[in-house]
Homo-oligomer: A and B are copies of this chain.
Amino acid sequence: MRFLQATVVSRHCAALKGLAYPRNYATIAEPAAPAVKTQAIPGPRSLELKGKLSAIQNVVPVQLFADYEKSIGNYLVDVDGNVLLDVYTQISSIPLGYNHPRLLNVFQNEKNLKTLINRPALGVFPGKEWPEQLNSILTKIAPKGLSNLTTMMCGSCSNENAYKNIFIWYRRNQRGENVDFTDAEMQSCMINQPPGAPKLSILSFNGAFHGRTLGALSTTHSKYIHKIDVPSFDWPIASFPQYQYPLAENERHNKEQDQRCLAEVEELIEKYNKKGIPVAGIIVEPIQSEGGDNEASPEFFQGLQKIGKQRGVALLIDEVQTGGGCTGKIWCHEHFNLDGPPDVVTFSKKMQLGGYFHKEEFKPQQGYRVFNTWMGDPSKLLLLQEVINVIQEENLLKNVNIAGKVLKDGLLDLEKEYSHILNSTRGRGTFLAVNCQNGKARDDIVNRLRMKGIQTGGCGEISIRFRPALTFQEKHANIVLDVFRSVLREL
């Protein structure tokens, strides 16, 4: 096994020497295979650090302490020297693997370094490059038909601010174009009361995850531990289709699921309108990720869009986890053949910063309505630009489709062979999942995989999720499958 050397260099020359890194991904010196050295993960050194951290924070979710200097490509190296093939990638947030040379190069550029250090209040004093930077993102990856882009910091605040954009749009539609706010509205909003702070809602789905701040959390329904003890808005929650697998053998059941859930959406819109909490927007993930990799058909999403259009309700597609190429397209909803773009599309994670694309008609007409001090981070946008360049130059969407097919076909094979243990393999690109018999069995398999060098993640109650980087290749898929088979043999 060979790593890039963590050369001891003089502080002043480190960045220069850094450029000895290979520029092309294919030449990165990844380990040939994972290697686990400790009897358990977390190993002794991780446990020691966990003890230290526990004096400062709750550390229950900490799985290990990583060595990010040594981690490379698809391999995460921990402080105990364990080398894990990472198919979870920091909860699906690392686009090009660890220490990608192209990203290490971004801040070798003096201009970019100054962008990193001089962080502006983008809404008031943007830098001279900002319009062109946003434009490059819009040109290269915006969902077709969405011409506006608002940058934020993370997934939760992207959804929160998208909700505000939707509420503003909805009230303008009610009030009429160019109609001023009333005195009653301006006064009542200051004390959190209608009509200025109106009773409006965002419809979400059972099993959804849209973030953890109080507005976003009111649309999140994946696990009780995220929500318990936190006050919430009374907003409508519809059922999400629960498919049976294989899809080809369960068409009738699955179609009924679509129809039942769409009917429920319509009923809830009626119900909440009558209740005096009108639905201004619908938020939905293209694949419910945290909630268990629950898929729905293109027809379901087409139906949702139709309902939204008919009822003057905005459709927000949350691509925080699905966006950025891991489903084989930049945006998962591109698989759905929608009748025009969704109204709003939020992103974060692999995109390096948060934000959302939206239709021109959702742009607030007054200033300071969707606003905060930073409004994103231009240095993260520089990283995103380079990520997009690499995706395009190295044809990584094609890579995702090829590697994803190998992994999915292999999982389907394992599922047939070990049908008493695994079922319901599903997903697009490398964004894949498989179900276990129950939560305990799932946790056991995730642990066994890790102890054999494969870092996966759980989602929902019984699923294992695969979230490799876009640089995950066929050879990596084969390693995952071989290890998975050896785990299944042990059970």
Contacts and interface: CB of A to CB of B under 8 A. Distances in A.
A256 interface: no
Q: Interface SS of chain A: helix, strand, loop or mixed?
A: loop
A265 to B, nearest CB: 16
How many copies of this kind of chain does the complex include? 2
Contacts of A369: 58, 225-226, 228
A12 B107 CA distance: 10
Contact of A118 (B17, B63, B99, B164): B99
Given A90-B373, A213-B160, A66 B120 contact: yes
B58 A364 contact: yes
A114 B6 CA distance: 11
Contact of A233 (B168, B192, B198, B372): B192
Contacts of A134: 53, 56-57
A383 B18 CA distance: 20
A185 interface: yes
Interface stretch (A214-222, A246-254, A332-340): A214-222
A328 B425 CA distance: 60
A407 interface: no
Contacts of A364: 58
B192 A237 contact: yes
**Which of A58, A59, A127, A371 has the most chain B CB atoms inside 10 A of its CB?**
A58
Contact of A113 (B107, B160, B237): B107
Contacts of A164: 212, 214, 229-230
Interface in A1-56: 6-7, 9, 11-19, 45, 49, 52-53, 55-56
A469 to B, nearest CB: 11
Interface in A113-164: 113-121, 123-128, 130-132, 134-135, 138, 147-150, 153-157, 160-161, 163-164
A197 B373 contact: no
A79 B221 CA distance: 47
A373 B232 contact: no
B130 A68 contact: no
Given A90-B121, A229-B171, A56 B127 contact: no
Nearest to A134: B56
B363 A349 contact: no
A57 B148 contact: yes
A214 B147 CA distance: 26
**Which of A68, A189, A191, A225 has the most chain B CB atoms inside 10 A of its CB?**
A68
A67 interface: yes
By Cβ-Cβ distance, the 7 closest A-B pairs, closest first, are: A60-B367, A214-B215, A14-B110, A15-B15, A192-B232, A197-B232, A160-B213
Interface of A: 6-7, 9, 11-19, 45, 49, 52-53, 55-69, 71, 76, 79, 90-91, 93-94, 98-100, 103-111, 113-121, 123-128, 130-132, 134-135, 138, 147-150, 153-157, 160-161, 163-164, 167-168, 170-171, 181, 185-187, 189-193, 196-201, 206, 211-216, 218, 221, 223-235, 237, 348-349, 352, 363-374, 383
